[in-house]
Amino acid sequence: MTKLIPGAALIYERVNGTVYARYRDPPHNTIPRWVIGGTADSLAMENIFSFSEWQEMIQLAKKHQTLKNELDKLKMIYYICRESK
């Protein structure tokens, strides 16, 4: 978002440490919300998930085989993508 609409009311939302803004009233309320800030942790991975969530996933994968399997698949996809640059 580069320019705000003068006089249009905004709503601010915080989700997992990331702060978003969006327009409150029609017709502008159809414009998707945009990131306006947040904690470094929440913004670290392009809003996919925070670093602390990533660490928690790694810990949970030690107890849950399904999550471990999916993270292994993700790692393989990452390696393939990295090699194909």
Which residue, among 36, 28, 26, has the nearest Cα to 2 in the 3D structure? Answer: 36
- Asked if residue 1 has pLDDT above 90, the reply is no
Helix (H) or strand (E) holding 35, with range, is strand 34-38
**How would residue 4 be classed by pLDDT, with cut points 50, 70 and 90?**
very high
Q: What is the pTM of this model?
A: 0.50
Q: What is the pLDDT of residue 41?
A: 66
**31-43 b/e with 16+ CB inside 10 Å = b?**
eebeeeebeebbb
- Tell the residue number behind the tokens 């414009």, with chain if given: 31
- How confident is the model over 6-60, as pLDDT tens digits? 999 999 999 888 889 999 999 999 999 988 887 766 666 555 677 778 889 999 9
Which pLDDT tens digit goes with each residue over 53-82? Answer: 888 999 999 999 999 999 999 999 988 988
**Nearest-angstrom CA–CA distance, 42 and 51:** 7
- Determine the residue type at 73: K
